């Protein structure tokens, strides 16, 4: 974690609240290890807190022992752990968050299951997050609650700190009304979010879905054009703020990274994902198989390198997905490999950041084909790392990122022929077109990076809170 440098510039403290912290504790036979968390949310908020200081409230991943802390006094920001009773972890996290909300919000309702006991655990744990946050608040602080695990926290916090500036940012899609209303506790979740001054989403489609649900399920007055909900006496702003990456950091890392070491005679297609069914990994492997079938000229000279970071392996669906991927890799390699060439190289582990930058830089094609994704930062990181001969981004139109990354080759991840065709186009694209597309993508991501996102979010949130406090005072 970086040391404190510019935190003193800000009068008000930023309090980020999220399920996981940027470091978690793991206990094993070799003692307790501090493990860095991987994922889009940490990638987004770490630079922000390193830059301005503040407090990160979250779950350390295990029970803390007496006197054990996660913060180091010299760190750029402080860490405040939320202790979750063991009995509630399953219901709150593996259950309600990851078996009900995650599939439903990704428009996969048949994968969702709803249990009252899990909902109750979710309510209790959200209450705990609110209590820990409130206990650390000072007047003027800005609280930003993150993501689907904590949708009730704003309402609990508002009761404990009525004057606080509270924002919420959803990192996953907000589903359409017909899907959202399947949730038995849909209204309660909306009320949880509407205790905020501002609610942020990645793209405008999610804002529209949210406003539609608020209007139809709660009957609140909604101004869709201006993104405003009148909820009781509070005016809540709903905004689309597409998250960016720490562009300069990725670009620097790519410039400094040693060569990826790919064989000279191979074109490399790269996939990087948490192992999650929303990321469309089996479909992607099949689409690559289809490419080899339809265009034999790519055999022997093209490799798909797929990195999959282990994720949520306590949930049964994730374990069976891993088996499915293992089998598919075996089948496609068994069918097309030769003595000197393996079509798919599959790594089931985390790679260090400098190695990841080298792989991004060296890959001829970035293949990002989720079935549904709130934003997808991998697409943006790939683009930031194209500092040499430019590659081509093939991007699912079901990712939030597709709303702004128009120069990518957009593909339908459910349509294997379409994805295979886009891969062929990417592999055969000539330099001038690759250059034009990549430059446009790079410029946009450089301009709309995570710092500009954070600045806009803070500005919009403080303005919204000011108006609400003024209205309450008058
Ligand atoms: C959620 C939403 C939204 C992956 N493998 C390695 C590694 N990673 C890093 C990537 C990237 C992050 O993990 C993944 O971010 P995504 O955005 O792709 O996906 P989610 O984790 O599902 O994130 C998503 C995001 O929140 C932010 O709002 O974009 O839609 O689902 O940063 O680089 N990093 C390292 N080694 C790996 O092996 N070092």
Query: Domains of the chain by range and CATH?
Result: 7-243+451-468 (3.40.50.2000), 248-447 (3.40.50.2000)
Structure tokens at 126: 């959200």
β-pairing verdict for 221-223 and 198-201: unpaired
Residues 190 and 202: their CA atoms lie apart, in Å, by 17
β-sheet bridge partners, residue 238: 199
- Residue 250's φ and ψ, nearest 5 degrees, are -65, -40
Distance CA 326, CA 362 (A): 25
User: Which pair of tokens denotes residue 180?
Assistant: 């959202």
46 Cβ neighbours under 8 A, 6+ residues apart: 22
373 catalytic, yes or no?
yes
Does the beta carbon of 311 lie inside 6 Å of ligand 1?
no
Sheet hosting strand 142-146, strand order edge to edge: 78-81, 55-59, 14-20, 142-146, 165-169, 198-201, 234-240, 228-231, 221-223
Q: Which two tokens stand for residue 241?
A: 């703020």
Residue of 44, 271, 272, 363 best suited for mutating to test ligand 1, as the one with most atoms within 8 Å of CB: 272
Q: Which long-range contacts (CB under 8 A, 24 or more apart) does 291-300 make?
A: 291/420, 291/423, 291/424, 292/332, 292/336, 292/343, 294/417, 294/420, 294/424, 295/420, 295/424, 298/267, 298/424, 298/427, 299/336, 299/341, 299/343, 300/338, 300/340, 300/341
Are the C-beta atoms of 293 and 335 separated by less than 8 Å?
A: no
307 lines ligand 1 (CB under 6 A): yes
Instruction: State the Cα–Cα distance between residues 55 and 45, nearest whole angstrom.
Output: 11
Distance of CA 303 to the CA centre of its chain: 27
Q: Is the CB of 38 under 6 A from ligand 1?
A: yes
Separation between Cα atoms, residue 193 and residue 150, nearest integer Å: 9
137 lines ligand 1 (CB under 6 A): no
pTM of the predicted structure, to 2 decimals = 0.94
Give Cα separations from 343 to 241, 262, 289, 304 (angstroms): 39, 13, 9, 6
pLDDT recorded at residue 34? 80
Give the whole-angstrom CA distance, residue 5 versus residue 7.
Answer: 6
Catalytic site residue 106? no
Phi-psi region of 67 (alpha: psi -120 to 50; beta: other; left: phi over 0): left
Going from the Cα of 272 to the center of ligand 1, the distance in angstroms, rounded, reads 8
Given the residues 171, 202, 231, 448, the one annotated as active site: 171
Q: Please choose, from the candidates 140, 200, 142, 137, the residue with its C-alpha nearest in 3D space to the C-alpha of residue 174.
A: 200
Could you count the other beta carbons within 10 Å of the beta carbon of residue 406?
Answer: 12
User: Would you write out the chain's pLDDT as a tens digit for each of its 474 residues?
Assistant: 444 444 445 667 899 999 999 888 888 888 887 887 766 677 777 877 887 889 999 998 888 877 777 777 677 899 999 999 999 999 999 999 999 999 999 999 999 999 999 999 999 999 999 999 999 999 999 999 999 999 999 999 999 999 999 999 999 999 999 999 999 999 999 999 999 999 999 999 999 999 999 999 999 999 999 999 999 999 999 999 999 999 999 999 999 999 999 999 999 999 999 999 999 999 999 999 999 999 999 999 999 999 999 887 777 888 899 999 999 999 999 999 999 999 999 999 999 999 999 999 999 999 999 999 999 999 999 999 999 999 999 999 999 999 999 999 999 999 999 999 999 999 999 999 999 999 999 999 999 998 899 889 999 999 999 999 888 876
Is the CB of residue 399 below 6 angstroms from any atom belonging to ligand 1?
A: no
Which residue's C-alpha comes closest to atom 7 of ligand 1?
A: 38
Q: How many CA atoms lie within 13 A of 184 on its CB side?
A: 11
Listed in sequence order, the residues at least 6 apart from 51 whose beta carbon sits closer than 8 Å to its beta carbon are 6, 76, 451, 454
Q: Check residue 437 and give its pLDDT.
A: 98
Is 246's C-beta closer than 6 angstroms to any atom of ligand 1?
Answer: no
Q: Which of 141, 246, 273, 373 is flagged as catalytic? A: 373
Please, what is the Cα angle at 280 between 276 and 264, to 5 degrees? 105
Q: Are 167 and 371 in contact (CB under 8 A)?
A: no
Closest residue to atom 9 of ligand 1, CA basis: 39
């Amino acid at each position: 974690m970086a040391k404190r440098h510019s935190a003193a510039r800000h009068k008000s403290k930023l309090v980020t609240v999220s399920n996981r912290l940027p470091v978690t504790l793991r206990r094993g036979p070799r003692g307790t290890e501090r493990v860095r968390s991987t994922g889009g949310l940490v990638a987004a908020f770490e630079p922000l807190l390193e830059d301005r200081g503040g407090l990160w409230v979250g779950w350390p991943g295990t029970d803390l022992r007496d006197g054990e802390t996660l913060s180091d006094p010299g760190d750029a920001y402080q860490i405040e752990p939320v202790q979750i009773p063991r009995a509630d972890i399953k219901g709150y996290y593996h259950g309600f968050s990851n078996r009900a909300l995650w599939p439903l919000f990704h428009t996969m309702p048949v994968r969702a299951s709803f249990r009252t006991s899990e909902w109750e655990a979710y309510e209790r744990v959200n209450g705990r997050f609110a209590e820990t946050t409130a206990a650390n608040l000072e007047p003027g602080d800005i609280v930003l609650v993150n993501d689907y695990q904590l949708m009730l926290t704003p309402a609990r916090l508002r009761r404990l700190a009525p004057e606080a500036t509270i924002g919420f940012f959803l990192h996953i899609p907000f589903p359409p009304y017909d899907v959202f209303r399947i949730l038995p506790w849909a209204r309660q979740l909306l009320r949880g979010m509407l205790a905020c001054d501002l609610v942020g989403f990645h793209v405008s489609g999610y804002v529209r879905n949210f406003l539609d649900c608020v209007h139809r399920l709660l009957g609140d007055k909604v101004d869709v054009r201006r993104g405003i909900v009148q909820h009781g006496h509070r005016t809540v702003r709903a905004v689309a703020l597409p998250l960016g990456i720490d562009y300069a950091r990725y670009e620097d890392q790519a410039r400094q990274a040693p060569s990826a070491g790919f064989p000279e005679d191979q074109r490399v297609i790269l996939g990087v994902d948490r192992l999650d069914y929303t990321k469309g990994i089996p479909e992607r492997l099949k689409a690559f198989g289809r490419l080899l079938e339809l265009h034999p000229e790519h055999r022997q000279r093209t490799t798909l390198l797929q990195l999959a970071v282990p994720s949520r392996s306590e949930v049964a669906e994730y374990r069976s997905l891993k088996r499915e991927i293992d089998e598919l890799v075996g089948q496609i390699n068994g069918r097309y490999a030769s003595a000197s060439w393996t079509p798919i190289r599959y790594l089931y582990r985390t790679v260090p950041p400098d190695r990841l930058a080298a792989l991004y830089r060296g890959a001829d094609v970035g293949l990002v084909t989720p079935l549904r994704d709130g934003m997808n930062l991998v697409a943006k990181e790939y683009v930031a790392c194209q500092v040499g001969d430019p590659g081509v981004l093939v991007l699912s139109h079901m990712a939030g990122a597709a709303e702004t990354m128009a120069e990518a080759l957009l593909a339908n991840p459910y349509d294997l022929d379409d994805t295979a065709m886009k891969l062929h186009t990417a592999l055969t694209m000539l330099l001038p077109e690759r250059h034009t597309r990549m430059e446009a993508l790079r410029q946009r991501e450089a301009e709309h990076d995570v710092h500009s996102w954070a600045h806009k979010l803070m500005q919009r949130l403080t303005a919204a809170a000011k108006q609400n406090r003024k209205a309450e005072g008058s």
